[in-house]
A = this chain, B = another copy of it.
Amino acid sequence: MSSATLDFFYDFASTYSYLAAMRIGRLAEAAGVQVRWKPFLLGPILKAQGYDTSPFNRYPEKGANMWRDMDRLAVRHGLPAVTRPKAFPANALLGARVATALNDACRPSFTQALFRAEFAEGRDIAQRETVREVLAGLGHFCDTALTDAEGTAAKERLRAVTQEAQALGIFGAPSFVTADRDIFWGNDRLEMALEHAVALAGRPRVRHA
C-alpha cells in the first residue's frame, strides 16, 4: 500500500481554481491525501486545442451564470463575497511564476492569498504591486521572491508543468490528477478525485492511456 497523492493543477486566472484552492487543504487532510500544488498556464494549452478565448467571455449568458454560481458557492463554502476583477481573465503569468518559485511549504498559502486578492478583493493580479503586497502580507522578503520568480529556473519549471498538463490531456482548470493519470476536471470533482486517490493507494497501480 502506497500513500495517497493528488496533483492539483490550477491557473490563477480561473475562478473555480480559486474555490478549489480554498477547499482542498482541509478536505485532503481529512482524507489522508498528499496534494502536490501545481500552478500552470491554461492559456497556451487552450490555444493549442483550438480555443480562441475564455468561453465565459465569448458566451455572455455562460459568463453571467458563472459569476452567479460563484456568488452562491462562496456562501456555501463560507468564503468572502466574490468581487469581480475588472480584468478577466487576468494575466496570471507573474503569479504563476511566483507560486512556482516558492517552495512546497509556502506555495499553498501564497496561492490562497493571491486568489483571495483577485476574487474576494477584486484586485488585478497582473500588477506587480498586487503580488508584492500579497507576498509581504505573508512575511516573504518580496525582492528575493520576485527575483526568484523571474529567474530562469522558475520560468523553466512553470513551462515544464504546463507541458506536463498538456501531455496529460488537461483542458481546463482546476484539474485533479490521480496516480493512474485519471483527470478530474473542475472544483465540483474535488471530492471524487480525493476518493479515487484514496482508493488507488490501497490497490496496485494501473495507468490509463
Contact = CB atoms under 8 A, between A and B. Distances in A.
B171 A69 contact: no
B170 A72 contact: no
- Give the interface size bracket for A toward B: 20 to 34
B61 A50 contact: no
A55 to B, nearest CB: 8
A69 B185 contact: yes
Given A69-B189, A185-B69, A171 B50 contact: no
A182 to B, nearest CB: 7
Nearest to A61: B171
A69 B49 CA distance: 20
B189 A62 contact: no
A186 to B, nearest CB: 8
24 contacts: A49-B59, A49-B61, A50-B58, A50-B59, A51-B59, A55-B55, A59-B171, A61-B169, A61-B170, A61-B171, A62-B171, A62-B172, A64-B169, A65-B169, A65-B171, A65-B183, A65-B185, A68-B182, A68-B183, A69-B185, A69-B189, A72-B192, A76-B192, A188-B188
Interface of A: 49-51, 55, 58-59, 61-62, 64-65, 68-69, 72, 76, 169-172, 182-183, 185, 188-189, 192
